[in-house]
Structure 1
């Protein structure tokens, strides 16, 4: 499985870990990772530690997640991205929409 989810015991924090390529092939799996939850979490962490590639469809998926989580008022962090992925996120100005570390 290349999209792994973990919900904190209190249900307030969702962690979505991406393994391998983060591209259109992960679209359905990524959306299900947050849409299938009974309760909307207060914060979401997208862990890219094991992501080897990110393309424009992945950027779109992150935007869909942001909209689902509440748009401007959402609390979403993108963590553990490698330098190539971080560069793509910066060029796309995603650092203005997400907390990227």
Structure 2
């Protein structure tokens, strides 16, 4: 399973782990990982430790998650990105709208 989700005890935080290429092929699975959770978590983590590649559709998916989570008030952290993925995030200025750790 290339998209793995884990909800913290109490449902406060959702961690979404991406494995392999983060591209349009993962769109449906990524969206389903957060869309129907009740109650909606307070914070989100997208763990990119095992992501080998990120394309423009993945960037769009991250923006959709941000909108779902509350836009400017969303608490989303992108974690463990390898240097190549981190470079894509930097070039796209995603470090300005997401907490990249």
> Which of the five TM-score ranges fits, normalised by the shorter chain?
over 0.9
Aligned residues: 101
Aligned partners of 2:28, 2:39: CA distance in 1, in Å? 19
Hey, what does 1:85 align to over in structure 2?
Answer: 85
Hey, what does 1:38 align to over in structure 2?
Answer: 38
Aligned partners of 2:87, 2:39: CA distance in 1, in Å? 33
Aligned partners of 2:36, 2:82: CA distance in 1, in Å? 28
Hey, what does 2:18 align to over in structure 1?
Answer: 18
Q: CA deviation at 1:38?
A: 1.5
Q: How does 1:39-78 map to 2 (within 5 A)?
A: 39-78=39-78
For 1:66-99, what per-residue CA distance to the aligned partner results, in whole angstroms no more than 9, with x for missing partners?
0000000000000000000000000100001100
Q: CA deviation at 1:36?
A: 2.1
The structure 1 segments of at least 4 consecutive aligned residues displaced by more than 6 Å after TM superposition are none
> What value does the CA root-mean-square deviation take over the aligned residues?
0.4
Q: CA deviation at 1:54?
A: 0.5
Secondary structure of the structure 1 residue equivalent to 2:40: coil
Secondary structure of the structure 1 residue equivalent to 2:95: helix
Secondary structure of the structure 2 residue equivalent to 1:81: coil
